[in-house]
Amino acid sequence: MELDYWKGKYNRFTMTEIPEGFSRRQGMGIGLISRYAGLYLKTIFHKKDNPQKSNVYIVKGSITAEFRRIWNIQDDYEKKCRDNHIHHCIDAIVVGCIGKREYDLMAQFYRDEEKYRWEKKKKPFFKKPWETFTQDMLSLKDEVLTVHFNPSNFTKKAHKKVFTPKGIFVAQGDCARVKLHKESYFGAIEQKGEIKYVMRKELSALKIEDIKNIVDAVVKEKVLAVVKKKGFKQAMAEPIYMNEDKRILIKKVRLFVSQTNPLIVKKHRDLSSKEYKQNYYVDNEGNLMIAMYEGVKKNGKIDREITVVNNLEAAKFFRQSQKNNAEKQLISHLSPKNGYPLKTVLTQKQLVLMYEDSPKEIKLRDTKNMVKRLYQVVEIEKDGRVKLKFHQEARSEGLNKNSAAFKIQDTPESLYRHTKSNLKVLVNGVDFKINILGEISLI
């Protein structure tokens, strides 16, 4: 442990790049929270035989790690894997199995281990909490459902009591508890009868691939000439002049963007004579929900339609409505194109059970099978594609997106990206309900 401490300290002094992963500041934060939580709990829980003594003790993370290694849950030189949420469950069980007796036994175990290593004596053995402890801990990922409880605050409105000479009134806020759009605004220009969208950007912030998208041909020519002469990196670090004799700098440039259907936030105060220049244009930040409609074509095949509701559209609706069932009114019960009936509605962070062909495949009593089927909606794209992440998956980046249909397999896919045609799910709160213990029942 002491060697690990000094090795880590030396590495942090000599490193030139900050590695990805669990940062030290997170560990400090957890330690501080544990300290104050422990002090608070010590005021509540006391020993029965001696009320003056607390029945609460804090186990440090380094001690927990040592017991994971001693009990063969983790290899001696293996770095703790945080890719799966189950590691929290394992740590909680390990902490629950550590008491004063285990601390004393660990000290004796270290002494015996030194004797085994240097004096070639008998290899020490540390007794486990129960015989199959290690196997049970390693099999938790096949038996435990990770329940994500994410209540939506989208419809909540701030309000407070205001005391006036005429009485007490309730003042209601006008806000949205989610990002409605991205920060950058777009402009609109017309070229050869076609409306194109542009974005203003600092010259020093340009990337080499942005140069070809510069709107003004003269400015593009000036920038390209300097880049060709000095190289891109040096050109961006030095001033580029529109007119060097008059010392007129190029500070910002307008770039064409790939956006073809931006959102309209509001109109300008001073309206242009051209209609396409009268609005503030922005890019969508996210979508709140997707409504899926299902019907049958004339040829007997099942057909689906979708309606995606973005955050800005939903915020405008909730602004005008204070009803509890506002979400149900936000979408139509019939599809706008063919009048198909509403099948289901998916929202962000919602849990779903996936199936291959039929909902009858789902066996609620088969926990190992249910573990492989439970996913969470993590993103709804504007074209209707839905990203679903495995419920135990703790990583937020670097996941491979699988666009194929769902299949039960030994190692579940971390992330699916499904279209309306291959999205086959039962929805939490609609088709089934799940409690904090991971117990599922059909509705």
Q: Do 267 and 352 fall into the same domain?
A: no
Q: Is residue 203 a part of any domain in this protein?
A: yes
What does the alpha-carbon distance between residue 404 and residue 419 come to, in Å, rounded to a whole number? 10
List residues bridging with 354 in a β-sheet: 425
Give residue 437's domain range. Answer: 287-442
What does the alpha-carbon distance between residue 267 and residue 81 come to, in Å, rounded to a whole number? 51
Q: Do 259 and 345 fall into the same domain?
A: no
CA 373 to chain centre: 19
pLDDT surpasses 90 at 54: no
Alpha carbon separation from 126 to 61, 130, 238 (Å, rounded): 19, 11, 66
Q: Is residue 302 a part of any domain in this protein?
A: yes
Looking at 142, 170, 201, which one is the last position of a domain?
A: 142
| Nearest by Cα to 327 from 299, 341, 348 | 348
Q: Which two tokens stand for residue 17?
A: 């790049």
List pLDDT tens digits, range 139-195.
999 999 999 988 777 877 778 889 999 889 888 777 788 888 988 899 999 988 899
List residues bridging with 392 in a β-sheet: none
pLDDT surpasses 90 at 32: no
Q: Do 335 and 354 fall into the same domain?
A: yes
Q: Is residue 265 a part of any domain in this protein?
A: yes
Confidence (pTM): 0.80
Q: Is residue 404 a part of any domain in this protein?
A: yes
Q: Do 247 and 273 fall into the same domain?
A: yes
Q: Quick one: which H or E segment has residue 200?
A: strand 194-202
Q: Which two tokens stand for residue 307?
A: 């309606």
Q: Do 275 and 323 fall into the same domain?
A: no
What per-residue string of b and e applies to 277-302 under the rule 16 or more CB within 10 Å gives b?
Answer: eebebbbbebbbbbbbbebeeeeeee
Q: Do 208 and 254 fall into the same domain?
A: yes
Q: Do 315 and 424 fall into the same domain?
A: yes
List pLDDT tens digits, range 7-16.
888 888 888 7
Mean pLDDT of 285-295: 91
List pLDDT tens digits, range 209-234.
999 999 999 999 999 999 999 999 99
- Looking at the structure of the chain, the number of domains it has is 3
User: Is residue 28 classed as helix, strand or coil in its secondary structure?
Assistant: helix
Looking at 231, 265, 283, which one is the last position of a domain?
A: 283
| Nearest by Cα to 346 from 322, 311, 382, 379 | 379
Give me the amino acid identity at 108: Q
Burial environment of residue 321 by CB neighbours within 10 A (0 to 12, 13 to 18, 19 or more): middle
Mean pLDDT of 240-259: 91
What does the alpha-carbon distance between residue 214 and residue 223 come to, in Å, rounded to a whole number? 9
Size (the chain), residues: 443
pLDDT surpasses 80 at 297: yes
| Nearest by Cα to 313 from 264, 386, 348, 280 | 264
Q: Is residue 291 a part of any domain in this protein?
A: yes
Q: Quick one: which H or E segment has residue 115?
A: helix 100-118
pLDDT (0 to 100) of residue 327: 52
Q: Is residue 341 a part of any domain in this protein?
A: yes
Contact 187, 198 (CB under 8 A): yes
Contact 241, 247 (CB under 8 A): yes
Q: Residue 27's pLDDT band (boundaries 50, 70, 90)?
A: low
Q: How many CB atoms lie within 10 A of CB 165?
A: 4
Rounded CA Rg of the chain: 30
Q: Do 209 and 273 fall into the same domain?
A: yes
pLDDT surpasses 80 at 325: no
Q: Is residue 158 a part of any domain in this protein?
A: no
Q: Do 416 and 367 fall into the same domain?
A: yes
**Residues whose CB is less than 8 angstroms from the CB of residue 131 and which lie 6 or more positions away in sequence, other chains included:** none
DSSP letter at 205? G
Q: Which residue has the tokens 């439970």?
A: 374
Mean pLDDT of 77-99: 88
Q: How many CB atoms lie within 10 A of CB 159?
A: 10
Contact 159, 172 (CB under 8 A): yes
Q: Which two tokens stand for residue 412?
A: 């579940």
What does the alpha-carbon distance between residue 115 and residue 309 come to, in Å, rounded to a whole number? 68
Q: Is residue 426 a part of any domain in this protein?
A: yes
DSSP letter at 401? E
Q: Do 115 and 192 fall into the same domain?
A: no
Give me the amino acid identity at 321: S
pLDDT surpasses 90 at 137: yes
Q: Do 292 and 269 fall into the same domain?
A: no
What does the alpha-carbon distance between residue 251 and residue 249 come to, in Å, rounded to a whole number? 6
**Residues whose CB is less than 8 angstroms from the CB of residue 121 and which lie 6 or more positions away in sequence, other chains included:** 112, 115
Looking at 231, 252, 283, which one is the last position of a domain?
A: 283
pLDDT surpasses 90 at 346: yes
CA 215 to chain centre: 36
Contact 156, 321 (CB under 8 A): no
Q: Do 71 and 122 fall into the same domain?
A: yes
